[in-house]
Amino acid sequence: MIDKIKTADEAVAIIPDGASIMVGGFMSCGTPEILIDALVRKNVKNLTIICNDAGVPGRGVGKLLTNGQIKTLIASHVGLNPEVAHRMNTDVEEDKLECILVPQGTLAERIRSGGAGLGGFLTPTGVGTIVAEGKQIINVEGKDYLLEMPLKADFAFIRGSVTDTFGNTTYNGTTQTFNPMMATAADYVIVGACEVVELGEIHPNNVVTSGIFVDAIVGGETPWQI
- Report the pLDDT value the prediction gives residue 60, as an integer from 0 to 100: 93
- Report the pLDDT value the prediction gives residue 226, as an integer from 0 to 100: 47
What secondary structure does DSSP assign to 18-44, as a single string?
T-EEEE--BTTBT--HHHHHHHHHHT-
Q: Which pTM was predicted? A: 0.95
Q: How far apart are CA 180 and CA 159, in angstroms?
A: 9
Q: At 56, which helix (H) or strand (E)?
A: none
| Residue closest to 188 by CA, chosen among 166, 221, 157, 143 | 157
- CATH number, domain 10-219: 3.40.1080.10
Q: How far apart are CA 5 and CA 21, in angstroms?
A: 20
Q: How far apart are CA 165 and CA 183, in angstroms?
A: 16
Q: Where are the alpha helices (DSSP H) in 29-133?
A: 33-42, 62-66, 82-88, 104-116
- Report the pLDDT value the prediction gives residue 224, as an integer from 0 to 100: 65
Query: Cα angle vertex 159, ends 30, 125, to 5°?
Result: 55
- Note down pLDDT in tens along the chain; length 226 residues: 789 999 999 999 999 999 999 999 999 999 999 999 999 999 999 999 999 999 889 999 999 999 999 999 999 999 889 999 999 998 888 889 999 999 999 999 999 999 999 999 999 999 999 999 999 999 999 999 999 999 999 999 999 999 999 999 999 999 999 999 999 999 999 999 999 999 999 999 999 999 999 999 999 998 765 4
| Residue closest to 147 by CA, chosen among 123, 125, 115, 112 | 123
- Report the pLDDT value the prediction gives residue 2, as an integer from 0 to 100: 87
Domain residue spans of the chain? 10-219
Q: Is the dihedral of CA 149, 150, 151, 152 positive or negative?
A: negative
Q: How far apart are CA 60 and CA 21, in angstroms?
A: 13
**Which residues are within 8 A (CB) of 99 and not within 5 positions of it... i.e. 6 or more apart?**
72, 73, 75, 78, 84, 88
